[in-house]
Structure formats: C-alpha cells, structure tokens
A and B are shown apart, each in its own frame.
Chain A
Amino acid sequence: MSHDQGREKLIRMANQIAIFFMSQPKTDRAKGVATHINRFWEPRMRKHLFECLDEGADGLMPLVVEASTLINRPSSPTKLDKSGGVAKPL
C-alpha cells in the first residue's frame, strides 16, 4: 500500500464515521464524530487526518471538517520517544 492508498483509506474511514453520525439528531453530529475519533484513533492516525485537513481536506466530508475543531491534535511528533520505550516508574 502506497502513501496515497493509506491516505485514501483514512479518508474513507473518517467519512464512514461521518455518514453514521449524519443520520443522528443534529446536535450530536459533530460531537459524535470527534468523540469517536478521539476515543478510537491512535495519534498517528489523527496526525494523518490533520495532515489531510491542513492540506485542504480533499475528499473529506464537511461533517469531518466541522468536527475537526473538537478532535484532539496529537502532540507531535509522537514517535520520537527515544527513552528506549520503558514506561517510566512513578
């Protein structure tokens, strides 16, 4: 899978979520999408989503764009934890 395919898939996944919430009562829609993505999308995926959004949101449904203000932007860059990975003792 190339970079583009990966992005295409991510856009499709975000839109699928939006399609479900489109049919929900109006007040729940954007919040529903954002909550869902915050709860289930790993930061890497959210980071890619923001890349799409920042580059003009091509292919993303308007509801995803609307929800994006409520989606947590991952503290970047997530992968640069060079601690060796061991979670620190308290």
Chain B
Amino acid sequence: MSLIHEIDYGTPASRSARQVTLTIDGRAITVPEGTSIMRASMEAGIQIPKLCATDMVDAFGSCRLCLVEVEGRNGTPSSCTTPVAPNMVVHTQTNRLKDIRRGVMELYISDHPLDCLTCAANGDCELQDMAGAVGLRDVRYGYEGDNHVRARNDGAINAKWMPKDESNPYFTYDPSKCIVCSRCVRACEEVQGTFALTIEGRGFASRVSPGAHEHFLDSECVSCGACVQACPTATLTEKSVIAIGQPEHSAVTTCAYCGVGCSFKAEMRGEELVRMVPWKEGQANRGHSCVKGRFAYGYASHKDRILNPMIREKISDPWREVTWEEAFSHIATEFRRIQYQYGRDAIGGITSSRCTNEETFLVQKLVRAGFGNNNVDTCARVCHSPTGYGLGQAFGTSAGTQNFDSIEQSDVVIVIGANPTDGHPVFGSRLKKRLRQGAKLIVIDPRRIDLVRTPHVEAAYHLPLKPGTNVAVMTALAHVIVTEGLAAEAFIRERCDWSEFEDWAAFVSEENHSPEATESFTGVPADLIRGAARLFATGGNGAIYYGLGVTEHSQGSTTVMAIANLAMATGNIGRPGVGVNPLRGQNNVQGSCDMGSFPHELPGYRHISDDATRDTFEKLWGVTLNNEPGLRIPNMLDAAVEGTFKGIYIQGEDILQSDPDTRHVSAGLEAMECVVVHDLFLNETANYAHVFLPGSTFLEKDRTFTNAERRINRVRRVMTPKNGLADWQVTQKLAQAMGLNWNYAHPSEIMDEIAATTPSFALVSYDYLDKMGSVQWPCNEAHPKGSPIMHVDGFVRGKGKFIRTEYVATDERTGPRFPLLLTTGRILSQYNVGAQTRRTKNVIWHAEDRLEIHPHDAEQRGIKDSDWIKLASRSGDTTLRAQITDRVSPGVVYTTFHHPDTQANVITTDFSDWATNCPEYKVTAVQVSPSNGPTQWQEDYNDLSNRSRRIAGKIQAAE
C-alpha cells in the first residue's frame, strides 16, 4: 500500500461539449473549450510551476509563477487564467520564463522561514516543490528588511509578524509561513460557502484573516478543512500532522457520520491515523468535507471504548469481563430459554444505521433465520420510515430519486424540514454554490435556518409554518398550482394515472385547501404560499429536499406523499436537476433499509408475505421463514411492557437516548430478561443491558455504506479492530452459538449473498465497486453502471400515483398547561446522540444542548439568556439552559438532543406517524419556566448511569 496521490490540474474542469486542439511543448492535445492552458498541459502530462492555482477553486492569477509563452502573442500570460484556443502553440519552458520564475520564487523565499527540516509540511509543501522545480539555488535578499518571519528585527518588535493561531482544535494558522496566494480564501468562499476568510491589508502588508481579525475559533469558520486542504504551505496545517508527521500510506474509505457519505483518504503512518483528507473523486462530496468526517475521528481511540465483552446477571450488578466464547454461549442459552418459556416471538433484534450493509444484513438474517421470527427493526423507524412508505406508495420505491450532482442543474429548490448546512453540510455547501449561481430557494421550516439568509445566499421565500402543519402547507401549494393552471399536464398524462390525478386535483382545489383558508392554523401568510407555488411551478427545474422535519410527525407519511404529488404535478421527476430527495440522517440509513431491516420486508423492499421472495431466501438459508410481519421498535417496547417480549440484540443503536418518551423505553428495557448491546461505548441503553459486546469502528472494517443518493461506497479497513473481532464476526459467532451454520470468511461473501438474492443489487460485488469507485442501485443487467437518476422512463410502479392528502391536526395540542410547541433538530458539530462526537474535540463548539426561545416568550416567563429553565410536557420534565433568539417564532421552542444529560426525549411523547409509527419528535406541547438545576429524574438517571457503568475489578473512569 502506498500514499494515494491525486493529480492537481490547477484549475477546475470545463463542462463544455466543444473540443479545442492546441499544441503544448510540441505535443498536440484536445480539451474542452474553456479549459485553462495550465489544465490542458497537466492533462498532456506537463506540469507548469504554480502556487496560487489549485483545481478545487477558480484561478486567480496572482503568483505569476505559471507564466507561459504563446506563439503570436506578446508577453508571458499566466497559464492558469488563460483559456486554450484552437491551434494555439504554447511553450512552457524557455529561458525567459525560467528567469522570471526564479525571480518570483526568490522573492517568496526571501520572506519565508527556512526551517524546512523541522516544518510540519516537509515533504508535502508546494513552495518547497516549486523552489526545486524552478531551480532556485540562492536567495540574494536576507530578512534584514521588511518581513513576516521573525518576531523581532534587530531587537525591535516586528509589527508585521503575527503569532500562530492555535484556537481551532484541529488545525493551526501560522501567518509567518503564508505566501498570500488566497487559495484558502477562495476555498472558503467557493467550496464551503462560508466566507469566513479575507485578505486583510494590501501589497506586502497583506495577510489572511478569519473574519475581522479574529481567531479562527471566534470567527464564522465552521472548521470544514477546505482551506487547510487548499493551502500549499504549512501555514494552515492539521495539528495531527504536526504531532505525528507525514503519512506514508492511505486507503479510500467513507465517512461514518451523515447520509452524504463523503469519500475520504485515510492517511496513515503504520496503524496510526494521521489525517482524513476528502477524496476528489468521491462522487458524493467531490473533494469536500465537514468538520465531523474530516476531523472528528478521535472517538475511535477514546479511553471510554470498551474492548472486552461483559456480562451481568441483573442490571444493578457491576459488569464482569468475560471471554467472547462465554458471552456468545450466555446469549445463546438465554435467548433459547426465553423462546422456550415465552414463545418464539419473544425475542428480536435492532440493526444499526451506523453499521454497514453487510452487518445489517447479517443481523436481520440472524433474526429471521435464527430467531425464527421477523422482529427486526432499525433506527430508521424513528427517522425515515415514512419516506419508505410514502414514496413507495407514490412511485413504487422508497428511494430518493437523484444523485447529489443533480443540484448543479436545479433552478428552484424547496428545502422542507431539513437544515442542510448543519445536518448534511457537504450537500449544504453544494446547494449554496448553486444558489450563488442564481438558483432560487424556498425554505419551509418553523425556524429561520441558516440557509434563509447567509453570506451571498437569500431564500426567495421562507414559509415559517407552525410545527405539525406540513400537510396543510404542501396541499395549499398544490391548490395554487392546480387552480392557477400551472400543473404540467403533458407530463402527468404521459407518466401518471390520469384519473387519479383528476381525483386529486379536485381534492386540492377545494376551497378549504387554499392558502387563505389554511393561513389561520399554519401561520403562513397566503401570499407567501401563492408566490412560492408559482415560483416552483414555473421557475425551471424544481427539486425538493427534505429531512426529519417532514417525517417525524403524526402525518409524516402523508407529507411525504404530498411532496411526491407536488413533484409529479410540476413534472419534476426523471431527469437531472429535479426530484424528491430525502436527506437521510445517519450514514447508512439508506443501506439499513435496503438490507431488510424492517419487520415486514426482506432485503430489497419485498414484503415478507410474498411467497416468491421468501422462497429465494428459504432455499439459500435452508429454513422456513415466518410470513407474518414482526414487531417494530415501539411495538417491541409495548410488548415488553405487556410481558410478551423478553430479549433483544441491539447492534450499534442507543434507543434509550434516541427514541421518544424515555420513560416508556426504559420501562420496556427493564421488563426484558436479556438485553444485549453491541456498541463502541457503554451507551445509555447499556444501562439496562445484561450483555455488552464491544464493537469496532469504521476504520477497522472492510465493507460498504449506502448514502442518501443510493450510492454504495466502500469502507476500507486501515487498522486492526481494537476489540479483536469485526462486527460481522461477532454476529456470525453469535449465530453459530445459536446453532446456525454460517461460514463467511470475508465480508465480500456477504455482499455476494446480497447480490444473489436482491435484484437491485445483482451486479454489486467488492471487485465491481473497486473498479467503478462506487455505484448507485439499482445496479443490475438493466442498469450495469448503476442509476444516478430514478424513474427516467417511467415510474418503478408503472404510473405515478397521486394520493389525496388531508390535513389532520395532531393530537398533540397546546393548551393552558403546555402552551408552547417544542421542535427538535441538530447542529453541525455533533452527530445524533453524540456518542462519537461528544468524545472528540468537537465539544468545543457545542458543549451542551440549549433551548432556543423567542424573546417575547422568554420575557413573559422572566427568562434571560443562559438561565437554567425547566422544560415540561405531559410525558416528563427536564432542565437545560435557554438561548434567546428570534430564529424561532413566538410560541415555538427548539432544542438539539446531542447530550444525554439533557434527556430531551423525556419530554417527547409516544405519538407517532399513522402509517409507520415513526415518532412525532417534531411537535410536543410544552411549558417552560425558570429553574435552579437538574430535575429529580435527571439526578436519578445520573445515579443509575454511574452505577451501571461499574466494571468489576476496574476503578471507575470518571466521565
């Protein structure tokens, strides 16, 4: 294995279809029109010296190192800013050019420290490389004059020198090494879209500055790392590189955080991870990343990681470390005892959206073939199950319709119930880039998310609806489109069932669905809805992106159908730039759903009652499968409380923290006799566990993740599992202990089994993925290269189905006791329940969950910013600190749920989506009042957590 070197072509690729042929140093080369001479040369294999150009940003032309001579033209144009022309003849190396370049380099080096040997970038520095490339042999000027290099000049303070900025936990800024090429500034603007950096001052005095001469940490910087990657010198450098040194080998792998599924090069020294660098060829991220994937991997070696299996008889006992064998045989014995005593259906399993496709497939196989029932579910239950149901009904498959590249061709984008700049940051950056190019944005969200107004981006419409009224707003949009004659009739006639459309059109046209009629309860002014509807219907390619603000409602599935209706009614399906795009929360939500994690579905979304599908698996697995749907997570908990469900194997999920109505979850877990938690850490659920199986991280795995665009990405192992066994081996050994005859030698064999049984994966194998980089399913005979866009020639179900979507107010209503509506979300630096990110330096950005409350509501209650407040609902109460902001409307409060101390889910209720039981996280009626500290529940819970983390023979590590 060696270090993967990616070619830097100097300037971005041109998209032109027209080709131009020119000659560079005697070689003829043909490139698309608009390509720079620099890029054309690099494609011909000729590397022109350069410093201020890199292919992640547009050329700027400031360093004058990349000069060339062009026959018939005067002077020495810079190759990075000069486009190719037909029949041009270019020379990249002449005596004149050599002299100029040496002169340029000499000036650079004269204001640069000469400590190359001890510099962190030694071996990975473009300034060093260029000095070598231009043949720089001596520097005639010393540091006596003006410089940025030394703190003192002849004893006097050097005002130009600036100290290092080490405020960011992951990278440093050393101004003395800066060559002011502005690559970082352009990366922050063009790639990330944050505009945190500027070049301050002019001429020789100029320097890079975050914000208005702030520290990185205090500036707008979101720590995405794009500037660090762009910097050609050691000025911006990862602290890990400074601490460890340059990497010597690397492997391409996939981020284990969010559903964007960014590709990274894991750069290693031995088994030590030096840094994660986004991979340019990654088709989801195109070389970009966010703070989580780029930097927040420290949890993998955190001291809290549990490395040995543990058992305890009762949850009040301390844990006892045991061998793997003992753990497996204990679980097998217990599960079989429970089944004998309470029935075959008394146990089940939960698969994880953080684990890989192969692991998930094995867990559902263990449940179906080993437990002999279908009690398997996944955390997608609590996030995107309504997507599965809603899109399945409308289009015939639950998948998002586009790839991420599609955004580059969108003209109008609706973002509803999602906060991409925080939740899906790399997609957020790609969206902002498109918006800066002129696409229009419609935000439908109770809260003024960042996208509504951020540097150089402003939403055309923000519809600040009351939580819980999505269906009414979406139907009102449809009302306007239909009644104003804006529906795409030709598309609908060709692609959808016309009589269903007519029925639906009559339904949405009813007066009670008009924006005027719904305004009183949605809170959205009618003219905003009318304007937004017209814009979406007539503004060109319209795309809809949505998140959990759509699904986590009692009408989640109905809203998904309403979204599908809107896309079909405006003809926005089946080509690039349009579509219905669920933004998935966790990295492998898509994959875990694909792999048959739902109790009613075998892999590939085929219902368990379907004889032909069962037959396929029965023949291969040599068992008879139960044809009845199993229990979903909330149903498992209900059954546990009722006494008919007694044992569970939970892989990589923390249902106690992530699921609603914590008291109900803990009551369910407490009623069980054998709870097995398989995870990296003693998570909150493990407080109720009898067996703990240590898990492995994505760095320790060879396998695949499937991101939100259905892209199957390879995950590659770069280190040995610290816990001894990879997760698939753990599940396999457990299956063997339960008497199943499994013999996978490598996870690729699991993928082969998936491909053999699941038509949409028919051509997928590790070899094929290695060859293709990644593919988007369906990937089979009909679509050998995968399917970037779905429903191109027709819907999966045949004709698209319009479905009536009647708004029904949730039962969760405000009243005198609970007058405010609580809605929940998340922020950039933390991930889900935070088990990983809380164990990294990311906590610097988000040390606690806060309750956002409007100044008006706060004042009424005598609450000031940062005060402790009590948050109460009919389910329970908790305390946290307030943050006063007008991002939320009066009557609405908002919080994140990243920290277990907050116990935000003590507040949420057990109401759920009518079709899928996806919990209604996004609407809870609450009251807020001043408080002095933690509630009794929080204290009791803390106590329980501390007690249940005791390990016999070990001094308890302080949290």
14 contacts between A and B (CB under 8 A): A9-B638, A25-B804, A39-B600, A39-B607, A42-B345, A42-B374, A43-B345, A44-B639, A79-B345, A84-B336, A85-B336, A85-B347, A88-B624, A90-B623
B628 within 8 A of A: yes
CB interface residues, B 335-367, toward A, < 8 Å: 335-336, 339-340, 342-347
B: interface residue count bin: 35 or more
Residues of A near B345 (CB, < 8 A) are: 42-44, 78-79, 81
Nearest residue in B to A20 (C-beta to C-beta)? B914
Give the interface segment out of A11-19, A49-57, A60-68: A11-19
Does A20 contact B558, Cβ atoms closer than 8 Å?
Answer: yes
A42 contacts B635, C-beta separation under 8 Å: yes
Of B339, B503, B641, B803, the contact of A84 (CB 8 Å cutoff): B339
Distance of A61 from chain B, by nearest CB (Å): 12
Closest to A79 in B: B343
Residues 498-513 of chain B, each 1 if its beta carbon lies under 8 Å from chain A, else 0: 0000010001000000
- How many chain A residues touch B (CB < 8 A): the figure is 37
Alpha-carbon distance A24/B335, docked complex (angstroms): 44
How far is it, in angstroms, between the C-alpha of A17 and the C-alpha of B340 when the chains are bound?
A: 35
Distance in angstroms between the alpha carbons of A23 and B504 in the assembled complex: 11
Minimum CB–CB distance from B629 to chain A (whole Å) comes to 6
CB–CB A85/B667 < 8 A: no
Q: How far is the CB of B622 from chain A (nearest CB, A)?
A: 5
- Chain A residues near B738: list those with CB within 8 A: 86
Given A79-B346, A82-B340, A86-B738, output 6 extra A-B contacts at Cβ < 8 Å.
A12-B811, A41-B629, A44-B345, A78-B343, A85-B340, A90-B618
Q: How far is the CA of A1 from the CA of B664 in the complex (A)?
A: 7
CB-defined contacts of A12 to chain B, threshold 8 Å = 811
A45 to chain B, nearest CB (A): 6
Q: Are A6 and B638 in contact (CB under 8 A)?
A: yes
Q: How far is the CA of A40 from the CA of B915 in the complex (A)?
A: 8
- Tell me the nearest residue of chain B to A10, going by C-beta: B638
Contacts of B627-672 to chain A: CB distance below 8 A: 628-632, 635, 638-639, 641-642, 644, 664, 667
Structural contact, B641 and A74, CB atoms closer than 8 A: no
Q: Mark A28-45, 1 if CB is under 8 A from B, else 0.
A: 000000001011111111
Residues of B close to A38: CB separation below 8 A = 609
Quick check: A40 and B600 within 8 Å, CB to CB? yes
Identify A23's interface contact among B557, B628, B804, CB under 8 A: B804
Instruction: List the A side residues contacting B619 at CB < 8 Å.
Output: 90
Instruction: Give CA–CA (A16, B624) in the complex, Å.
Output: 34
CA distance A74 to B626 in the complex (A): 13
Chain B residues near A (Cβ < 8 Å):
335-336, 339-340, 342-347, 368-375, 503, 507, 554, 557-558, 599-600, 607, 609, 618-619, 622-626, 628-632, 635, 638-639, 641-642, 644, 664, 667, 738-739, 803-806, 808, 811, 910, 912, 914-917
CB distance from A56 to the nearest CB of B (A): 21
Asked if residues B914 and A39 are in contact (CB atoms below 8 Å), the reply is no
A19 with B917, Cβ < 8 A, contacts A1-B667, A79-B644, A84-B340 known: no
- Among residues of B, the one whose C-beta sits closest to the C-beta of A1 is B641
Pairwise interchain contact B641-A90, C-beta atoms closer than 8 A: no
Question: A85 — nearest CB in chain B belongs to which residue?
Answer: B339
Contact among A13, A85, A87 with B624 in the assembled complex (CB-CB below 8 Å): A87
**Is B804 within 8 A of A24, CB to CB?**
yes
- Kindly identify which residue among B369, B641, B806, B912 contacts A6, using a CB–CB cutoff of 8 Å: B641
Roughly how many angstroms separate A79 CA and B644 CA in the complex, as a whole number?
A: 8
Whether A43 touches B624, Cβ cut-off 8 Å, given contacts A6-B642, A36-B915, A87-B372, is no
- A89 CB to closest chain B CB (Å) equals 5
For B641, list chain A residues within 8 Å (CB).
1, 6
In the bound complex, CA of A83 to CA of B344 (Å): 8
Question: Which residues of A are found within 8 Å of B599, using beta-carbon distances?
Answer: 42
Residues of A within 8 A of B371 (CB): 85
Nearest neighbor of B337 in chain A, beta-carbon distance? A84
Q: Which residues of A contact B346 (CB under 8 A)?
A: 79
CA distance A4 to B336 in the complex (A): 30
3 closest Cβ pairs, A-B complex: A79-B343, A85-B339, A23-B806
Interchain CA distance A13-B911 in the complex, whole Å? 9
Q: Which residue of B lies closest to A15 (CB)?
A: B914
Assess the A74–B635 pair: CB atoms within 8 A.
no
A87 with B642, Cβ < 8 A, contacts A1-B667, A39-B609, A79-B346 known: no
**Interface-central residue, A38, A42, A81, A82, by most chain B CB under 10 Å:** A42
Q: Is the CB of A87 within 8 A of B628?
A: no
Complex partner residue of B915 from A20, A80, A83, CB under 8 angstroms: A20
- CB neighbours (8 Å) of B739 from chain A are 86
Nearest A residue to B661 by beta-carbon distance?
A: A1
Among B371, B630, B639, residue most surrounded by chain A Cβ atoms (within 10 Å): B639
> Which residues of the other chain, A, contact B912 by a CB distance below 8 angstroms?
13
Determine the chain B residues whose CB is within 8 A of the CB of A74 once the complex forms.
628
Contact partners of B631 in chain A: CB under 8 A: 42, 44-45
CA distance in complex: A83, B336 (Å): 10
A residues in contact with B915, CB < 8 Å: 17, 20, 36, 40
Task: Determine how close the nearest CB of chain B comes to the CB of A27; give it in whole angstroms.
Answer: 11
| B803 and chain A: residue at smallest CB distance | A24
Chain A residue at smallest Cβ distance from B599: A42
Task: State whether A87 and B625 are in contact (beta carbons under 8 Å apart), knowing that A42-B599, A81-B345 are contacts in the complex.
Answer: yes
Contact B622 A89 (CB under 8 A): yes
CB closest chain-B residue, reference A14: B914
On whether A43 and B372 interact (CB within 8 A), knowing A16-B554, A79-B644, the answer reads: no
Residues of B within 8 A of A22 (CB): 806
Closest Cβ of chain A: how far from B256's Cβ, in Å?
30
Determine the residue in chain A with the shortest Cβ distance to B369.
A87
Residues from chain A with Cβ under 8 Å of B507 in the complex: 23
For the complex, give the distance between the alpha carbons of A39 and B916 in Å.
11
B340 contacts across to A, CB distance below 8 A = 82, 84-85
